[in-house]
Amino acid sequence: MNQALENLSAQELYELARRREEEEREKIEQERREKLEELMAQRREMVARHKAELAALDKEIKRLGGGRRRSPARRANGSSTNLSRKVVELLQEKGEMNTRQIRAELESRGLEARNISQTLSYLKRQGRLQNRGRGVYGPL
């Protein structure tokens, strides 16, 4: 083999080295793919077991009279759509207000306004109210 390598030209040696590097890269890539497939299979098995265990727990909870309960905020507000509607109505009624004033007014009306900043941002993106300054909102 050494004599065969000695008889090769520089170009042939370069090609041989390049092919060997490519073969090594392909081998490493194939090993990576196999490992990835193995891990994905383990993950699928784990998720399937987890779902089965959760289903058994949910069944037992339901059998004992428990179940999913809605959060107090949802029961108090009805829904986030209701909160959005109430904020728009409030701003149309009162005019320009800052975030703190909006929260206080909603709470005085018996509505929980936990995520008021996100609600205001959403309404602004929807074009249902205007941002008149930092934390100051008004009707269109």
Predicted confidence (pLDDT) per residue in 87-115, tens digit: 999 999 988 999 999 999 988 988 888 88
CA–CA separation, 43 vs 126, rounded Å?
40
The Cα diameter of the chain in Å comes to 95
d(CA 95, CA 134): 16
Helix (H) or strand (E) holding 109: none
For the stretch 56-84, pLDDT in tens is 999 998 888 876 655 554 444 455 678 88
Asked if 87 and 52 touch (Cβ cutoff 8 Å), the reply is no
Q: Which two tokens stand for residue 125?
A: 């993106």
Question: 130 and 117 in contact (C-beta within 8 Å)?
Answer: no
The overall pTM is greater than 0.95: no
Domains of the chain, residue spans: 2-63, 72-139
CATH of region 72-139 = 1.10.10
